[in-house]
Structure 1
């Protein structure tokens, strides 16, 4: 016993898909349509021609050299950074305070010596050291944006020499080489 059920459904019609992309409007027609009420054509921004193939990522996004005219005087700055480096290396100052002013290889040496000095100080194997002080700074500028500094540091009766090579990067001096005698 089969029964027919009256259907209220209509037949399905399949239509071709509509193009997902509208037809391109010629530029002259678009400008004519975009004229304002005074009859002036609207501004249309064109593509910027940039050839990124000639520059590597390091040249575009890495540290940029800075000319000497755009940098502060190296003498006072070298004295301040030398004082900070001596304090980090003796364990009196945290190493991240000089991170911005040093290159990664120089920072690694300073941080390692600072951590060692802090462990010695915590273990009590070293008597209370006197704070080292920068006494004199001598600067030589062999090239534009480069300063080589010799610094005399005294710690009590002991006198030490420090040599810094500063390079102008991103508008500031950075220590890129360090020697302590």
Structure 2
């Protein structure tokens, strides 16, 4: 068995990057004299009167051409919303795809259903049968979704708005 040499502690090497040479006062004067226009301190060109913070940083509308197919998307989100309302799926999964008002309603119904749910209730499955779509404008569509929910046939009416390159459920009516 070979003995390992003792551990030696050395100080970390000092490393300083090379600095950027700054122009001398005389060189700066010569450059200013050669310049065709006088030097103006750099400023950020911002027009604070043109738009509000909400208009610049808030949700931006998206055209239907930039978005996924509304019919397929309505079918998927309708099934997800009904599963949330039954307490089968957590509400956080649909938060990004719904407006705050719709999310509050769906989450509240889901929490109520989750409290009264029994083990045999979890066996039923939601299945979308048909989707009817009406495009109201280039960034707004309304969908009526017919689905089988357990043993019942139900209808959902959704208003989809194109925001930030995705469809968002802005209004929901459950029948």
Q: TM-score, normalised by structure 2?
A: 0.74
Query: Which residue of the other structure, out of 72, 77, 86, is the alignment partner of 1:76?
Result: 72
Aligned length: 147
- Inter-CA distance 59–129: structure 2 relative to 1 (3 Å threshold): same
Larger Rg, first or second structure (1 or 2):
1
**Does the alignment pair 1:167 with 2:161?**
yes
**Shift in Å at residue 156 of structure 1?**
3.4
Question: Match of 1:53, SS?
Answer: coil
Report how far residue 180 of structure 1 moved: 0.5
- 1:61 and 1:31 map into 2 onto residues whose CA distance is 41
Let me know the Cα RMSD of the aligned residues.
Answer: 2.8
Give unmatched runs, 5+ long, in structure 2: 1-24
The 3 A distance-change label for structure 1 pair 31 and 152 is farther
In 1, are the aligned partners of 2:88 and 2:122 still within 8 Å (CA)? no
> 1:55 is paired with a residue of what secondary structure?
coil
The unaligned stretches of length 5 or more in structure 1 are 1-24, 36-43
Q: 1:54 aligns with which of 50, 53, 61?
A: 50
Instruction: Name the SS for the 1:54 alignment partner.
Output: coil
Q: CA deviation at 1:53?
A: 1.8
